[in-house]
Structure formats: C-alpha cells, structure tokens
Amino acid sequence: MISRRAALELAGAGLAVGAGFIAGRQTAAPPAPPVPVAEPAPALPTEVKLSPEAARNFRLETAIVERRPLARSIRVTGMVALNELRLAHINPLARGRIQVMEVTVGQRVRAGQRLAILDALDLAEARHQLASAQAALRQANAETATARAALQRGQDLVRGGALAQSELDRRRSDMARAEAAVQTRTVEAEHWREMLERYSPALRSQPAGGEAGSQSVSLAAASPEDARGAILAPFDGTILTIGATPGELVDTNREIFALADLGIMWVQADVPERDLGALRLGAAASIAVEAYPGRRFPGVVAYVADQLDARTGTAKVRCEIANPDGALKANMFAVVEIAAPLGRDGVVVPGAAVQSVDGAAVVFVRLDETRFGRRDVRLGLSAAGVTEVIEGLAAGQVVATEGSFRLKAMLLGSRFAAED
C-alpha cells in the first residue's frame, strides 16, 4: 500500500505535468527578453584643428622626437646635505677683539667681501716687525752703495799704484757682506709682509713700505689701536652661523663664521648591491622632495662608495644637485632617480606628450600651427621624464607636450558632438 504522504507527492507531480497541457496541447515557455546590442562608439577623428584664438590661448608646448641611448631608472631614497667641498669654517688668523660684525645669519656674500673687523693683537706685532725689517733693508742698501763706491775708488787707486792690493781685497769683501745683508733684510721684510697679507689681502696691491687702506691694516700707524684686520669671505656663499659678537676676544682656534655655497647640494643615497653594476660616474640623476610636489631637481652622480654597508647591503652614492634658487635645504628627505644605460638606442618623447584615449596611448603630432594629428603609439620604458615609443613615431617629428591634454579633450568632445 502507498502511504498518504507518497500519494500526495504523486498527485502534486501530476498537477505539475498537467499544467503543461491545455485541451490536449503542449504549451511553450514564454520567450526570454531580447538582449540589447550596444551601438559602437563613433570613430575618433585622426586630426584636431585649433582656431587661431585657441592656438594662442592654449599655450601648448612642443618637443622634437629624439632617438638617443636608453636608460632605465634606479629609484632610491636619500638625504640632502651641504656640499662639503664648498663649506668653510672661518677662524681668525690672529688673536684679537671683534670690533664690528658686518653680516648676519642667512645673508648671501661674495668672495672677498668683509665679514667682520678684528682688532688684531698679533697684527700689531707683525706690523712693527715689518717696519723694522724695512728700516734695516734701507740701511743695508745704503751700506751696499757705500761699499760699492769704496771698491770702485780702490780699483782706480790700485791701477795708479797708490793703494795696496790687500786693501782692495778688503773693500771687495766689505762689498760682498753688504750685498748679503741686503738679501737677508729683503727676506725678512717679505716674511713680515706675507704675514700681514694673511690678515689683509688689500696689502698685496700696496708697494713695499706703502700704506694700506684704512679699512684693513695701516702700516704707517704706530699705535696698536690702528691694527685693524678684516675677516673676508673665501668664496660666494651664505652665512650659516656666527660664533662671536662685537667686543669678544677671540683666538685662532675660535670659529667665527660657517659659510656654505648652496648653489650645488649633495644628496647621499643608499643604492642596493643589485643596481651597482649599472651605475656610472657622471650619470644623470634627479631628485624630488616633499616640499615641492611635481618639481624635479637635476644633477649627476659624483661618487660611488668602494664598500657596502654590511647591515643593509647598500652602497653610499653621492649626487651633486643644482640648487640655483636655494630651494633645497640640508637634511631634506629625497627620492632619487638615477639613469642606468641599457646599451641600446630608442625613440623617446617627454612623458607629458603621452595621453590615454580609450585605454590606448596617444601622441599628438604637430602638422602645422593650428593642426595636430592623433597617433596611436606603443610604449616601452619610462625613465627620467621621457618615455620610449616602440611604434607610431619617428625621430624628428614634433609632438605636443605640456597642454596636450587640451587636445585630448577636444578629440573626445568631437565624439560627444557626434552622439548628440
């Protein structure tokens, strides 16, 4: 016998089968709704034409497509530092008291500019020693002239038989001693003159025994109060620190100024061992810092360390980076990109010349002053602000760079106009 539950299940199945038959005819299931077919987007034009007004207002920049050696980019981190070859720690050349400070921290100075005036104690001594040496030199010259005249008279007397030969020999000896004394006094005077020149280069243009300008050292003055020396800048640069104030007594081991040339900065980067084989001295480098988004500072690789850091497996690489406007500051964190040659040539364009249209790379080639042609391109490597173009361009063509996005906007705008 069939259970009640089984009978109900069979009855339900019969109703489901019977629902497919009406009046002895089998009925079909309702058809599925049709799938809409998307219409293809209108084809993009191959050329963008600008009105004369747009050509003036867009301010498009262009560049010539080049074929040149390719390089990949080694990207590492680094730290901005002062150029140690253009960093001076300035000490006074003589003991003395600071009379006047003529510069302030942060001030730009020129080579030879006076930074401070020093009442130099050693300078007064050198000045007096020079004056004594010059007086002794004048005396030696006078004695030489006298000995020369005596020798000449003796030679005349010997020829006339009025003077013994021994007396002539004595006068000749006196003449030799007088000339030697002149040489000795000349060396002494030059020694003390060189000492004074260290304190004041202005003396180099003064004649022996002359008087220098009152703003540096006065050789004619007899009082120590006039022994004034100038501390000068050795090169163009910026004052970083000042280590003394007017009235202080300083000696030669006291740093008075720190001066740096900020026109060229160093960037110390850590490069992994795997990339060292591709590095070359003089290779192009550039850095980016957080303070100036979108700006890159160009430079070159100046030094690669001879040993690796055992802990990190990296080598120190120093790049010299141009800093004409002083934007880079010491201890800034930097992202460094170094060009590593690949050993082959390629066609390249500036990165700004490449635009993306419908997922494809596009470059706009200038046809004339108001017309640009769209060129679909296939790209290769990108490094140091340029992109390799494998297909679609030839060297010598002129392409739009900065502002090419405006041409892209006009190109897509023509599609929207067609759809309307």
**pLDDT tens for residues 178-189?**
889 889 989 988
pLDDT digits (tens, 9 = 90+) for 130-189: 888 889 889 889 888 888 888 888 887 877 777 788 887 888 888 898 889 889 989 988
**Rounded CA separation 322/317 (Å):** 16
| Residue 329 pLDDT class (50, 70, 90 cuts) | very high
Question: What would the pLDDT profile of 378-399 be if each residue is shown by its tens digit?
Answer: 998 887 678 999 999 999 999 9
- Residue 69 to residues 282, 343, 346, 348, 386: CA-CA distances in angstroms? 15, 7, 6, 9, 12
Provide the pLDDT for residue 18: 42
- CA torsion 364→366→371→373, rounded to 10°? -40
pLDDT of residue 199: 61
Q: What is the CATH number of domain 47-69+345-419?
A: 2.40.420.20
Q: What are the residue boundaries of the structural domains of the chain, listed by start?
A: 47-69+345-419, 73-83+262-343, 88-250
Could you give the C-alpha distances from 418 to 47, 91, 97, 103, 285, in angstroms and in order? 15, 77, 85, 69, 47
pLDDT value at residue 218? 33
Point out which residues pair with 101 in neighbouring strands: 116
Between 354 and 252, name the one with better pLDDT.
354
Mean pLDDT of all residues in the chain?
81
Q: Under CATH, what is the fold of the domain 73-83+262-343? A: Elongation Factor Tu (Ef-tu); domain 3 (2.40.30)
DSSP 293: T
User: What's the N-to-C CA distance of the chain in angstroms?
Assistant: 75
The CA distance from 209 to 190, in Å, is 11
Q: Do 270 and 314 contact (CB within 8 A), yes or no?
A: yes
